[in-house]
Amino acid sequence: MNRQWVLPAPETPSIPKKPVLMSAGLTAFVTLSFGLLSGLAEAAKSEGCEGGGFSVVLPGGTVSGATAMEVPASTLGTSFLVQGKFVVFEVDAATLGVRNYALTAAPNPQDMTGGIPTTIFASKAPDLQGVSLNGNLTLEIDGTDVLLARSGPGVSMKIQAKDCAQGGIFQMEPERADGATTDFTHVLADGVFYFDNPNFTNPPPLPLCTAPNFTPQCYPVPVTPRVNFANDLSPKFVGRDSPQVATRISQFGGVSVWRVASGGRMGGVLGEDSVEVAPPATSCVKNCQAQNRVRGRFPVLGFPFPVPDASRLTPRLP
């Protein structure tokens, strides 16, 4: 079956931002507060994060524990490793693009891998239109959270991640002085594939309801098509790309391309949160507040395993 999707997927919850002026001549703002990772924390169940925590392996040594520092550009090298208990990935220093984003399969009640180390993305690459990030690296580590930010001529990039077995645990954010968009290309690792989730195409009978802020009221929730990714090895392994203020440009079986507004973001959601029915967050790119986030209890529709061949998007590559 030959399908190339261009429908926008549901969006990730917004994270409030506190502006902090960046260096390298760029008038841009990045979040430099541990508390501002709370939007990711809400989507990652606490038991799935127990014992987690990142170390950042730089050419000059390893940084771990509670940290807030600037790493000089001259010491970064071409790439570095972000190593957690549950999550590990490589970062390209010149773009803050990500390679070999993987779950380690460390024991955890929320493990989705069945004990099989699983590389999810071969790469998540932003197109910075020929610009290289050349400023110092802002690095913050706090508990299970890590924040990485770097700027270059007219552009900045930021990564926020959590070291958890599942949930909303990763996002990348571009910011451009000219206000232009940034294209992101996501390439899945071998054995991982995108699919049109049939549970969202043929949902169970309505009403599907949500109880905002855990109150007893019930409100109907619309069910729209959902593209997830999975594999053939782990029955619990499932995830989705999760955009905010972004448009899907193309969708293949192993590659997706997204056009992200300056100040928007591309997130990654794993596990139950990726197969729940939830309305999108608002279109917020500056000074986002709590009301911009999705809150409440939402129906979880799951996904079929193994994924039927008819639901898998083809061709795999452009």
Q: Would you give per-residue pLDDT tens digits along the chain (318 residues)?
A: 433 333 333 333 333 333 333 333 333 333 333 333 434 434 467 899 999 999 999 999 999 999 999 999 999 999 999 999 999 999 999 999 999 999 999 999 999 999 999 999 999 999 999 999 999 999 999 999 999 999 999 999 999 999 999 999 999 999 999 999 999 999 999 999 999 999 999 877 655 666 655 555 666 677 889 999 999 999 999 999 999 999 999 999 999 999 999 999 999 999 999 999 876 655 665 544 333 444 446 788 999 999 999 999 999 999
What 3-state class would DSSP assign to 85? coil
Question: Which token pair is 134?
Answer: 């050349």
Cα 256–chain centre separation: 13
Task: Give the C-alpha separation, 197 to 241, whole Å.
Answer: 13
What 3-state class would DSSP assign to 199? helix
Task: Give the C-alpha separation, 250 to 318, whole Å.
Answer: 9
* Alpha-carbon dihedral 313, 314, 317, 318, rounded to 10 degrees: -100
Task: Give the C-alpha separation, 314 to 259, whole Å.
Answer: 21
**Cβ atoms of residues 133 and 150 within 8 Å:** yes
Question: Which token pair is 178?
Answer: 């000219």
DSSP for 282-308 reads P---SS--GGGS--SB--B----SSPP
Cα 28–chain centre separation: 21
